Amino acid sequence: MIRKLCAGFIVVLLTATLAYAQMVSIARSKVNMREGPGRKYTVIWELGKGYPLKVIERKGKWLKVKDFENDTGWILGKLVNNNAHIVVVKERSNMRSGPGVNHKVVGKVVYGEVLRTLKHDKGWVQAKRENGLTGWIRKDMVWGW
């Protein structure tokens, strides 16, 4: 009986933890990240469309989020969506025609650039730039989903 209760508690705890580890992306062209959960709090960052964030806490309609540089702040929940995006975390990286270094370079991406995630394949991410260029980037060169 105690084992079943403990196992049930662990499942509930893991489910709650996973809910907070959710990834979201900015849904509008400009969104304010604030110091606290409300409009009365100071704006600390202005984020652009697609910028990926990790949800680490919820308070009413507000989400406490963390970005790829571990900056944290609060965003109104209706200003984000579940459209997968990534951000480049290396100074400069290649976009390739396929998932592997043997594929042709089709473009370059730079630190902080936000891309729409299309697919994942064995340590590679297929992504699309706002201008339409599509290519593959090594997973360790980006952060997001």
Query: Are 48 and 26 in a shared domain?
Result: yes
pTM of the model as a whole: 0.83
Query: Are 59 and 112 in a shared domain?
Result: no
CATH code assigned at 101: 2.30.30.40
25 vs 42: CA distance, rounded Å? 21
Query: Are 57 and 95 in a shared domain?
Result: no
Query: Are 77 and 6 in a shared domain?
Result: yes
What's the full length of the chain, in residues?
145
Given 81, 104, 126, which residue is the final one in a domain? 81
pLDDT band for position 21 (cuts 50, 70, 90): low
Nearest to 75 by CA among 87, 59, 99, 90: 59
Query: Are 18 and 76 in a shared domain?
Result: yes
44 vs 66: CA distance, rounded Å? 13
The tens digit of pLDDT for each residue in 36-59 reads 999 999 999 999 999 999 999 999
C-beta of residue 115 within 8 angstroms of C-beta of residue 129? yes
Domain containing 137: what range?
85-144
Q: Is the pLDDT of residue 142 over 90?
A: yes
56 vs 23: CA distance, rounded Å? 9
